Each structure stands twice: as C-alpha cells, then as structure tokens.
Structure 1
C-alpha cells in the first residue's frame, strides 16, 4: 500500500507550457518601446505622483483625538 502512486493524473500540456514560459520569461525578454514605456510609468511616473501628493498633504489632515464638530483640516 505504501509507495504506490495514488491519484495520478495526466498533466495538461497547455498548463505545462505556461509554467515553463513563466519560469523562463527572463531568458526571452527584450526591451522594446512598449516595455520601456510601461517600465517608465511604473518605476518613475506613478511613484513620483504618489510622492508629490504625499509631500503636499503631509501634516494637512489630523484624524486623531477629534470630537464632533472639530475639523480634520489643520491649515
């Protein structure tokens, strides 16, 4: 009983191919205009916008120890 291959299933060739493609993606990557543009957006532009908004709103809102009628706006 021990050591027998129970519940052996046939592997789906499409899933095996997908798994191999995901594991070896770095081998076939190429820089194109599209990949460079997407990388620029996700590495520079979006973090820059979030940083700019965070820097401008730093200390502007205070949500701690507020009572009814008090404003959360600090300027």
Structure 2
C-alpha cells in the first residue's frame, strides 16, 4: 500500500494551458490601441473623475452630529 499514488487526479489539458498562459502573460504582451485605451482609462480618466468629484464636494457634506430632519449640506 505504501508508495501508491492514488491521490493524484488527471489534469485537464485546458486548465493546464490556461495556467501556463496566465503565468506567462507578460512575455506576450503588446501595446495595441485597445490596451493603450484601457490603460489610459484606468490610470488617468477614472482617478481624474473621482478626484474632480472629491474636490467639488469637499466640505459640502457633514454627517456628524446630525439629527433626523437636519440637512446634510453645509452650503
């Protein structure tokens, strides 16, 4: 009984290919218009929009010490 490896399962070739592709993705990356657009959107556009919204609403809302019926807006 010792030495037999009954615990191993047969590996699915599709999962093995997916794992290899995921681990080696950086080797095959290319800058295309699509990848450049996605990178721009996530590194410039989204933080810029969130920063603009944060800047415009800075100090406008106060959630501390408010009671029911009080207005959250300061101005």
| TM-score using structure 1 length | 0.91
The alpha carbon displacement at 1:2 in A equals: 6.0
The alpha carbon displacement at 1:36 in A equals: 0.5
- Residue number in structure 2 paired with 1:43: 43
SS of equivalent to 2:73: coil
- Residue number in structure 2 paired with 1:30: 30
Q: Structure 1 residues 72, 13: closer, same or farther in 2, change over 3 A? A: same
SS of equivalent to 1:65: coil
Query: Structure 1: 5+ residue runs without aligned partners?
Result: none
| TM-score using structure 2 length | 0.91
Query: Structure 2: 5+ residue runs without aligned partners?
Result: none
Moved more, 1-10 or 65-74: 1-10
- Residue number in structure 2 paired with 1:60: 60
1:6-61 superposed Cα distances (whole Å, 9 cap, x missing partner): 42100000000000000000000000111101110111001100000001111111
